Chains A and B, each alone.
Chain A
Amino acid sequence: MGTPQLTLPLFITMILNGLAIGMLYFLVAVGLSVIFGLMHVLNFAHGSMSMVGAYVGLTVLRLFGNPAVGTAPSWAFAIAIVAGGGAGFLLGWLTERFLVRPLYKRPLFLVLLTLGLILVLDESVKIIWTANPQGLVIVPALAGTVSVLGQPFAIYRVFLIVFGLTMIVLTWWAVNRTRVGIIIRAGVQDSDMVQTLGINVRQVFSLVFAMGVGLAAMGGIATAPFNGVYPGMGGEFLLKAFIVVVIGGFGSTVGTALGATVLGLTEQFLPWFFPKFAAVAPMAVMVLVLLLRPEGLFSFSGRRAG
């Protein structure tokens, strides 16, 4: 049986699906990218922290109904996203303040620390929430479909696109239009020089680390109806986040957004044309980028956070 014909409505649907997945990848990857760009810390536990956000969000959702059977009200999902993000922010702040900060001058120890944190966080969620995958039905307001050129398209995916685009705009605004954003962009280039201007860059490090993890945690719970919530889900998030950052270039929020979009679309379209390569498509794109443009497709002048 050959590949079905790629009609315009199907093409549009695939683009929207790719964007929805891309927005998820952006949420998880942007923190990883800026944290590395500013602090040179490769946080291997970033995906696992996103998982913790998903679990906390799910627990909050359960306060209002049973999300596994869809009795949780729609507005509670918004609270769950905020709670998951808040938990991630707190976890990120505590991690930077008490674990990462003493090791800034020992990069190898930081690698070991964040790898170890994966194990700690994975085992912790098993102890607190059991090892069983947790189901989450889409809340009523986001259930159902809309018609896109005659093709049904899930409202929940529209939500993911809108939510992701909102976060991209907010992140861009924070990085490009606020004083903290100016400090981050300057710090990515030369944090010592920023300090000589009377700015305590360490405080900004804590904030960026916390916000980066907070965004990833929001992504964890926002996409829970799509991915489920289970121990080890952070590993999958981390892999995709790395691929996004390699495509987009470390330290760039714009690059991360574009890289996430490229990865989301690639995952939709490449398997269509080459079904046998569906599983390796993301890695293949990453390898190609590393071979052709190791600094990232959208890195225009070395490390940056624009």
Chain B
Amino acid sequence: MTLLRLEAVHTYIGQFHILQGIDMEIEEGGVTVLLGRNGAGKTTTLKTIIGLLAPRSGQILVKGAPIGGKPAYEVARHGIGYVPEDRGVFTDLTVEENLRLAERKRGQLEARKQWILDVFPDLGRFWAQKGGRLSGGQQQMLAIGRALVADNAILLIDEPSKGLAPIVVEHLAQVLNQLKAHTTIVLVEQNFWLAAATGDRYCILDDGLSVHAGQMAALIADSDLQARHLGVSAKGRAV
């Protein structure tokens, strides 16, 4: 079943035409990875979906309901969680306050706290610490944990591996594989290893258009396609 659909979406940032009529379908469940070179429009796609950027034309539908052009708080209330590239952790707020902020109903954090702490044990240890005192990896866990507080049907996660040590990225892969059993994840990721380790489907963006989409297993097996669109080999190293 299609959970999220983009139809001919055009988005500008200032005078720059970034998304040039993108079409995309996100199936329910699993991880769909948005791939593409720098500047292809991956982050802009997520920002347009969540409502931080308003599309100039086109449709964005969640479970058939139009959300394109609505303010971010309304889009989020359709059950969409967002983890930005810079993690968006509030550095002056404690871990608990960062999580509590994401409650959309009273008691939501209490109801999900144990599950979140089971997935991210570090958050329990640093519960009363300010977000700004956490390491990059811990901040990433907090950002993802925060998106889990509300009952989100879709998580939009933008380059979670950025700036993290390889061992932390491996842990991140385990976490994402654990989470995809509970929610649909749209993942923007430059690290092809992480994309391959977690992705079920992929969509390749180029110049603000969706140019290829399919099953991740097929992309992993097709080194020509990888080289053509992504500039990576099957082993995840840049060519």
Q: B-contacting residues of A (Cβ < 8 Å)?
A: 179, 182-183, 185-186, 189-190, 192-201, 301, 304, 306
Contacts and interface: CB of A to CB of B under 8 A. Distances in A.
A200 B73 contact: yes
B77 interface: yes
User: Which 9 A-B pairs give the minimum distances between C-beta atoms?
Assistant: A198-B76, A195-B72, A193-B88, A196-B82, A186-B90, A195-B73, A200-B73, A198-B77, A196-B72
B27 interface: no
Contacts of B73: 195-201
Contacts of A304: 92
B197 interface: no
B101 interface: yes
Given A301-B91, A306-B92, 15 more contacts: A179-B100, A185-B93, A192-B72, A193-B84, A194-B101, A195-B52, A195-B73, A196-B51, A196-B75, A196-B82, A197-B73, A198-B76, A200-B71, A200-B73, A304-B92
B12 to A, nearest CB: 15
Contacts of A193: 84, 88, 90
Given A189-B91, A198-B77, A301-B92, A182 B101 contact: yes
Interface in B48-93: 50-52, 71-73, 75-77, 82, 84, 88, 90-93
A195 B51 contact: yes
A199 B101 contact: yes
B69 to A, nearest CB: 14
B95 interface: no
A85 to B, nearest CB: 28
Contacts of B52: 192, 195-196
A182 B102 CA distance: 11
Contacts of B71: 195, 200
Interface in B105-147: 132, 146
B150 interface: yes
B90 A197 contact: no
Contacts of A183: 101
A102 to B, nearest CB: 15
A301 B132 CA distance: 10
B97 A196 contact: no
B172 to A, nearest CB: 20
A186 B82 contact: no
Contacts of B101: 182-183, 186, 194, 197, 199
10 contacts: A182-B101, A186-B90, A186-B93, A190-B88, A193-B90, A196-B76, A198-B73, A198-B102, A199-B101, A201-B73
Contacts of A179: 100
Nearest to B90: A186
Contacts of B102: 197-198
B90 A190 contact: yes
A285 to B, nearest CB: 26
Contacts of B76: 195-198
Contacts of B72: 192, 195-196
A170 to B, nearest CB: 20
Contacts of B77: 198
Nearest to A203: B73
Nearest to B88: A193
Contacts of B92: 185, 189, 301, 304, 306
A201 B51 CA distance: 14
A22 B231 CA distance: 63
B104 interface: yes
A192 B90 CA distance: 12
Nearest to A303: B92
Nearest to B78: A198
Nearest to B149: A197
A44 B76 CA distance: 35
A198 B100 contact: no
A198 B90 CA distance: 15
B4 to A, nearest CB: 16
B116 to A, nearest CB: 15
A306 B73 CA distance: 24
Nearest to B97: A182
